[in-house]
Each structure stands twice: as C-alpha cells, then as structure tokens.
Chains A and B, each alone.
Chain A
Amino acid sequence: MMSKGLLAVDSNDSTLPAANLRRRTFLAGAGAAMASAALPISAAAQTKTFSGRKLVYVSWGGVYQDSQKLAYCAPFAAETGARVIQDGPMNEAKVRTMVGAGSPEWDVCDVTDTFLFNGVTNNLFEKIDYQIVQKNKLAPDYAQDYGVGNCVWSYNVCYSTKAFSNSNGPKTWADLFDLKRFPGKRMFRNRVYATLEIALLADGVTADKLYPLDVDRALRKLDTIRDEITWWNTPSQSQQFITDGAVTCGVIQNGRAFDAARKGASIAIEWDQNLQSLDYLVVLRGSKDVEAAMHLLNRSIQEDAQARFVNATAYAPVNPGAFDYVDKPLQPWLPTQPEHAKLGITMNAMWWNSQLESLNERWNKWRLG
C-alpha cells in the first residue's frame, strides 16, 4: 500500500490499479527489458566476472524504473558483463505467489518499507550479504537484514503562498489542525499510513513516544477537522489541489512539491517533523543468482549511482555521500539533506506491518463515520 508516489509513477498507486495504467507500465517495463536485452555484450565484457549471467530487475515502471535502469543496472551490466532484464510492475501478490511456488522469475525487486517487513515475516527474501554490500555507504537505518535502502521520500507540511504570504503559512503538523489561524480546506492523503502519525504529532506526542501509535487519540484529533479536509488519492491530485487553489495547505510528498514548484505553482513546504519513508531493494528467496544480485545491490548504493537516480527522480539518496553529486537546485527539496534529516522522523514500518490489517479496518470504519 505504501507504493511509490512521487514524480513519475501514479500508475503504481495502489488505490488506482487501473487496468489500462497497469498495462502501460507493464509495456514500458517490457520495452525496457527488450532494450537492455538488445545491448550487445562487448568482447571485453565477456571476460568479466558475471559474464553470461542474468538477473531480472523489477520495479514500478515509469521514470522511476527507467532511472534505476540508467543509474544502477546499466553500469552494473557494463562493468560485470551480467545481463539485467527489466520487468514489472512490482506486484506484492505476485511476489508472494512466485516465491511460494519455489522458483521466482524475478531476482531483484524494489519494495515498499512495509512490504519489506511483511516479506521478512513470510520468508520471501534472501538475507542481505553484507560481505558484498558495503554497509558503511548507508545511513544505519537503511541497511536492514533483508533489504537495502533504495531512496527516501517524505511527507511535509505544505501551503499555497497565494493563501498565506511567504513564511506566514503553517509550519507544523499542529498548524494544519488550526482552522482559525490557517483557514481554508487542507489536504491529507486518503490512507491510514502516516495520517495517524501526523495527527498524533499534531496533538503533541513527541517523536520518541510515537510508537506504538495511539489510534483512538489520532482519530479523535482527525475528527476535529474532518469536514475541512480534502483527501487526495493519487499524488498528482495533491499537486492539482494546491495549484488550483482548491486547498490552502496540507500534506504533500517532497518530490511532488518540488515538481509543482518547478512547474510554477505557488507552493512552500516545511521540514519540521517531516515524516520519512523509504523503498528497499530485496532479493527474492530462491533467486537463481543471489551472488550477482547482491553485487547489483551494492552497485546501486554507490555515490555516483545514487546521485544519478536522485537527479532524475527527486527522491533522496540513502547514501549521504551522494549529495556531493546531487544537483544544487534539488537539494533544498530532499529529506536526507543533512539539515532536513535532523528534523525528520522515519516511520516505523516494522510496527506498521504487524498492524496493517487491523488498522486498515479501523481506518475504513472511521471513513464510513
């Protein structure tokens, strides 16, 4: 459920698995696969380490996967002689079925943080070999036993600079619940994940006491502004609402805010208590070439690879060293930029995974009101 949602990949938003969109991302993936399969393996590459070996790389399509192909897979293939075939879009039900059947067609997958822990519980992934993957390249939170961070994104307070003059807008989650000082409709994401955290932080819960979440308290807090909330279901809706003036402030993802600003929207974001989440790269259990897959993961977290991916997508790097190579105009919009990282809170995906079913039920009941 915590699928990609920044610049390129609406189609992966799980609230919208429109058949036609799925097909489009699938075709994009298939096209990419053909393109990479068609790359001639040079004579020199024949002698390289993984010459003749093959990995299937699965992600969310669109610019997101294209950038992974460009930043991670292509250099890896060129340097090792391995062939990396793109496939997708990523589908959690498919992963469960494939691994359950014993011989997955996919090797490396890009997964959401909650699915990482779900997969660990259900024994879907190979343990990361930190003999191969350089742990010291990663911020410590991002090197998990069964997954290596791919990129980081955040939920931020945002406001329209037309509705509130610059620097007079809401600055904190609590401000979003203050209808007197900050009038107008505010937007939230129609999803239980992160919304409960936002409500609790707004209600004065400190970051260190956030988990386990006090669900009743969070929903009571949301009740106080329920009628003033406009809910976005797809990330592009969030951009549209703030650009059109349908809302004055609310919750947005950092990459979406960057994209809206780049396209001329009057938008500002704040970093206080920015709520961070990340995507992981995993190797499916039963993969036919775990060793090559681990080397591909390691290639993905190198500074140059991370920076190239970040510059193309506006997601934030998991390797702090990559900032030396990240475009300067992009840096103020990224949650792992050191100043922002200090203010940020990483959502506890492990806790969420254990509660997903019951919290979705609570949330749906609250929605029906």
Chain B
Amino acid sequence: MLGLPALAFVAGVFGIPVLLFLGKAFTDPSPGVQNFKLIASDTLYVRVLWNTVVVSGATTFFALLLGYPFAYTLANTSPRIRRLLIFVVLVPFWTSLLVRAFSWTVLLQPQGLINAMLVGIGFVHKPIELMFNRTGLLIGMVQMQLPFVVFPLYSVMTTIDPAYVRAASGLGASPVRSFWKIYFPLSMPGVLTGGLLVFVTSLGYFITPALLGGLRDFMIAQLIHDQVADIGIWGVPAALSILLLAGTFALFGLAKAAGVRTK
C-alpha cells in the first residue's frame, strides 16, 4: 500500500511516455507493421542485432569465467581480505563509464602500459592492437560488468554449506570431482542470475563500443539513439526497442523456468 504513490508516479511520468514511444513502432510514419518488416528485411538491422547478441554473449561468458573464481575467493577468505576484495570490485563500479573507457585507452594503446610490457619481456616484437577492435571492446565490457556477476555469485556461495563438500571428500571424491558434482550445481542460481544481469545490461551498451570497439562493433542501442536524436525518426527505433524489450522478457522467462528446475 505504501508503495502505491511511488508506483503511480513512475507509471505516470515514466511508464506512459515509454508506452507512447513504443506505440510509434506501429503508427509512425503510417499504421501497420511496416517498421518490423523493414527491420527483418534490412541487412543493417539484422547484422547490428546479431553484433549485439554476440558481444553480450561473449561478455557474459568472460565475466563469468573471471568472476566465478573471484566470488569463490570472496566467499571463502578471511573478513579482512574480503573487505579488500569487495573494495577492489566496487571502486571501478562507482567510477564513470567514460573515465573507465578512457583509462583503458591509456593502458591498451600501442604505446600503452600493456604493450610496453609485452614488448619489454619479448613476448611480442611490436605492439599488438588491443583496442578499436573486438578485443578492446570485450576487455572494457567485461571489466565494467564484473560486479554484476561477482555479487550474485558471492551471495549464493555464502549460503552453500561447506559440510556438503566435506562430505563428498569424506566419501572419497577428489577435490575436482566434489567441486563439479557438489559445489558448482549448488552455485548455479548465482551463475544464472549473474549471467542474466550481465547479458541483459550488455544489450543496452553503447558508450563502451564507441570508445573501445572497432568500426564494425556497433550495437543496437547506438542505432536507436542515432535515429531518435540525430535523424528524428521514431518508428524504426521504437520497433527496435520493442524487439530488445521482448528479448529481455523472454530471457527472464527462460531464466525463471531454469531457476525453478535447479531448485
């Protein structure tokens, strides 16, 4: 009940305008579904949508790969180290996206720290291209998304009773086997939640692709923004937004179904 005024406020000043905007997918420039037909038939939209899904998927994969051991350490270490590790994740999280993207530029550029090190130790002969391509984009996005996997994983992992793993070991399972058979399945809800959060938020990225990605790495949110803000057309971007929204809801539905199963 207490939430009602807030709910009414959000519905009024946010919900209604969003619905009005999305409605333009079917009315602008003329009534019908021509905007959706255009999107399906134009290779530009199909390719940019595909780009978006691939980049978001890869970001999710690498964020989980890096975030899982980190969250594991977080859940199984002394409180002092834990505080330090949480701080390490949160500081970049609180830093502006733009600042982080520019910081990566300093590190990744041909004369940057990372290339200087690689050349210095003789790993490569001349600087390698670490940014303005898919590599740079993924490095930037994975770093920005890490907190979104670390915290859900950590909160699930702290609820896993160490007695289960001990029991498995006691019954003769090797550490590797007891991890994969016992610990990992128990941590699955965290993997799903974290993975979903990263994937869904990645779909809407467009500053990082612009600053760290290559010419080809542009994503759907950039296209939507350009069309509304720069060109002044509403129908196609509204239709793209509906597709993005529908995809997100579908994912949540799938995750919910999967979540029910893992329980």
Residues of A bordering B, CB below 8 Å: 1, 14-18, 20-21, 91-93, 96, 118, 122, 190, 226, 229-231, 233-234, 237, 240, 244-246, 356-357, 360-361, 364-365, 367-369
Contacts and interface: CB of A to CB of B under 8 A. Distances in A.
Given A1-B226, A233-B211, A369-B216, 17 more contacts: A14-B230, A16-B210, A17-B225, A18-B96, A20-B97, A20-B98, A21-B98, A93-B228, A229-B215, A240-B105, A356-B230, A360-B227, A364-B223, A365-B44, A367-B218, A368-B51, A369-B215
Contacts of A240: 102, 105
Interface of B: 43-44, 47-48, 51, 96-98, 102, 105, 109-111, 132, 207, 210-211, 215-216, 218, 222-223, 225-233
A365 to B, nearest CB: 5
Contacts of A226: 215
B141 to A, nearest CB: 15
Contact of B229 (A14, A122, A244): A14
Nearest to B51: A368
30 contacts: A1-B231, A14-B230, A15-B222, A16-B207, A17-B225, A17-B229, A18-B96, A20-B96, A21-B98, A92-B229, A93-B229, A93-B232, A118-B232, A226-B215, A231-B132, A233-B210, A233-B211, A234-B211, A237-B105, A240-B102, A246-B109, A357-B231, A357-B233, A360-B230, A360-B231, A364-B223, A365-B44, A368-B48, A368-B218, A369-B215
Given A18-B97, A18-B207, A237-B211, A368 B216 contact: yes
B225 A365 contact: no
A99 to B, nearest CB: 12
B44 A16 contact: no
Contacts of A118: 232
B229 A360 contact: no
Contacts of A244: 109, 111
A88 to B, nearest CB: 15
Contacts of A92: 229-230, 232
A-B complex: 5 closest residue pairs judged by Cβ atoms: A1-B230, A233-B210, A367-B215, A357-B231, A15-B210
A215 to B, nearest CB: 15
B210 to A, nearest CB: 5
Contacts of B207: 16, 18
Contacts of B225: 14, 17
A230 B132 contact: yes
A234 B228 CA distance: 19
B30 to A, nearest CB: 16
A96 B230 CA distance: 12
A368 B232 contact: no
Nearest to B132: A230
A368 B54 CA distance: 14
A21 B102 CA distance: 15
Contacts of B97: 18, 20
Nearest to A358: B231
Contacts of B102: 240
Given A15-B210, A231-B132, A368 B47 contact: yes
Contacts of A233: 210-211
Contacts of B218: 364, 367-368
Nearest to A112: B230
Contacts of A364: 44, 48, 218, 223
B99 to A, nearest CB: 10
Nearest to A20: B96
Contacts of A1: 226, 229-231
Contact of B111 (A21, A231, A234, A245): A245
A367 B216 contact: yes
Contacts of A18: 96-98, 207
Contacts of A122: 232
Contacts of A229: 215
